[in-house]
Amino acid sequence: MIETVLLWLFAGTALAAAALMLVLRHPMRVALALSATMLSLAGVYALLGVHVIAIFQVLIYVGAVMVFMVYAIMLLDVRDYSFARRYSWLLLPGAVAAIAFVAILAHGFWQSLPDQATGGGGPLFGVQQFSIEFLNEYWLHFELVSVLLVAAVVAALAVLEVGRRNRG
């Protein structure tokens, strides 16, 4: 009972903060709204019993990605006319596209989805079971991810090098 209430609460908070992201003017407030969305989603994951993903959500997304984002916002405190006018001319087509997307998805899911039962992920998603399964079945993906991370580091360094050369 209490789990259902909390699940609704977290999901509602995530949706409300995501809607706020579209309305707020300053990027820092948008970043805070996005952090609220991510933390609520972590709560949803924890309630679903997928604790590993909840921990990773808080550590990686809120801990790493959003802190990086906040640093970038503080570095780039440029007050141009994107503050005065939040939306580009694509607002109406974008709204139509978003509504059409939700409608198509809802129509597709309405027939195909079985009724859902929430709660009780079972012991499959404890850290130990997840790690064993991960490294036994998906070790190739794990290695590919490390290759991707190395490529990202090299690319970031290359971008910085280009900037340094342009400055002279």
Site for another protein in 1-60 (CB under 8 A): 7, 11, 14-15, 18-19, 21-22, 27, 30-31, 34, 37-38, 41, 44-45, 48-50, 52-53, 56-57, 60
Contact flag: residue 62 with another protein (CB under 8 A): no
Residues 86-145 that bind another protein (CB under 8 A): 86-88, 90-91, 93-95, 97-99, 101-102, 105-106, 109, 113, 116-118, 121-122, 124-125, 129-130, 133-134, 137-138, 141, 145
Cα(7)–Cα(69) distance, integer angstroms: 28
Give the residue among 30, 31, 39 at the shortest CA–CA distance from 11: 39
Is-contact 42 54, C-beta < 8 A? yes
Shortest distance, position 107 Cβ to another protein, whole Å: 11
Shortest distance, position 2 Cβ to another protein, whole Å: 17
CA dihedral angle for residue 92, residue 98, residue 103, residue 106, rounded to 10 degrees: -170
Cα(105)–Cα(123) distance, integer angstroms: 31
Contact with another protein (CB under 8 A) among 2, 111, 140, 163: 163
Is-contact 31 74, C-beta < 8 A? no
